[in-house]
A = this chain, B = another copy of it.
Amino acid sequence: MDIEVYGEYKKTAWCPGCGNHDVMKAVRQALAGLDLAPNKVAHVSGIGQAAKAPHYIDLNGFNGLHGRGLPPAQAIKLCNPELTVIAQSGDGCNYGEGGNHFLAAIRRNVDMTLLVHDNQIYGLTKGQASPTTPEGQITKSQPDGVRNAPFNPIAVAVAMKCSFVARSFSGNTAHLVKMIQLAIQHKGFALVDLFSPCVSFNKVNTYGWYKQRCQELPEDYDPTDWAAAMQVAQEFGERIPIGVIYRNDRPSLDASLPVLQKGPLGRQPVDRDGLRALMQSYT
């Protein structure tokens, strides 16, 4: 696909310099590279800065509620397995308000991709701590420093044997494109936690901060080695590993439901004879 087909939105509501601009570029490149027609993709989001994405790219879109991107995303795939489903949203949306859906989605393993724009802050609501804000960091709402231990999405996902877990950075387009493509190609629930700096409210975890720390995993790293992945998942300091951290081959839920093998549910007709027989079973 020509990358132009996904449209290019110059007028976004994002701040100049926000990492989200780079992420959108990478998403378009990734889709083009995979030759995905815009009408065959369902692009789902919640609420937050990152979650405005469906308005800025020409794909089918479902912009739902804060924290609630994952449930409709999974349902769309379960109703039309022919669609490629991609959800995008922020760290607050997915790990804060939507934490329970995050756990459930990992367990359910529907074939879809989740791109978390992780800026370690609540951007849209102007700078409160998010679940991934580091301990001790001072924010407007946490003037004495964050007291909660930060949520480590990679560690939780790997601990739960999520079928695909990757990390990337908006500042490394080539890497991010590759991660998004691998995630989309993976048959199962694929998480990409991607750093996307918030230039307005996070003055600690900046572009430079990530740039300095993010290091690609070595070529010979084996993402199917769970114990190794668990160790890598804990690294979040002077070095932060990026790449595919863990994956496995667990079959996706949609692939294991017989009725979905007949195609989208929407157009499957009412089985009147079956229903008549069913009514007989109540007599």
Contacts and interface: CB of A to CB of B under 8 A. Distances in A.
Contacts of A37: none
Interface residues of A, number: 33
Nearest to A257: B147
A104 B99 contact: yes
Interface in A117-168: 131, 147-152, 155-156, 158-161
Nearest to A163: B149
Interface string A87-128: 000000001011110011011110000000000000000000
A71 to B, nearest CB: 13
A179 to B, nearest CB: 21
A253 interface: yes
B159 A230 contact: yes
A227 interface: yes
B160 A152 contact: yes
12 contacts: A97-B100, A98-B100, A99-B100, A107-B151, A108-B147, A109-B148, A147-B253, A152-B160, A156-B156, A159-B233, A227-B230, A227-B231
Given A106-B149, A149-B161, A155-B160, 10 more contacts: A99-B99, A104-B148, A107-B149, A107-B151, A109-B149, A149-B250, A152-B160, A158-B159, A226-B234, A230-B230
